[in-house]
Amino acid sequence: MKYLFDSSAIFRAIKENKIEALAGNHTLELARYEIGNILWKNHALLGKTTKEELSSLAKLVKEILNVMEIIQIECTEEEITSIAAEMKITFYDASYAYQAHKDNLTLITEDAELLKKVTKYINASRLDGVSIEST
């Protein structure tokens, strides 16, 4: 089974040192920006990381994303906005739902509300549901 990880699941995998679950699996290009924003927020707004830790984490994210299959969402805006409107979720979240459905991937997210809404449409789970042996 192959998985599509959203930024919340990637960030949790990094925090819990479960990076092996990510290798060879998929994410969207927008995850790079979402994770960058998480790193920035933890440093600049919450003071949870030093400047050096921020730099190290940014480098780690780049290395991790390099071992994942990065998917572009070009030319699918109409489909994604339709899903967003129907499910009452953000365009970002709908992008993951659309791609998981399109490529027959299981969406991995730590967003409980998103998980609840999309399981009617696609296979979805939390990081705990990832089978590392099958990746």
Residue 75 pLDDT more than 90? no
Q: How far apart are CA 34 and CA 55, in angstroms?
A: 16
Q: Are 19 and 130 in contact (CB under 8 A)?
A: no
Residues 84-98 pLDDT 10s: 999 999 999 999 999
34 burial (CB, 10 Å; 0-12 / 13-18 / 19+) is middle
Residue 134 pLDDT more than 60? no
Q: Fold for domain 3-134?
A: Rossmann fold (3.40.50)
Residues 96-111 pLDDT 10s: 999 999 999 999 999 9
pLDDT score at 133:
60
Residues 27-71 pLDDT 10s: 999 999 999 999 999 999 999 999 999 999 999 999 999 999 999
Q: How far apart are CA 85 and CA 88, in angstroms?
A: 5
Tokens representing 100?
Answer: 């998981």
Beta-bridged to residue 69, according to DSSP, are 26
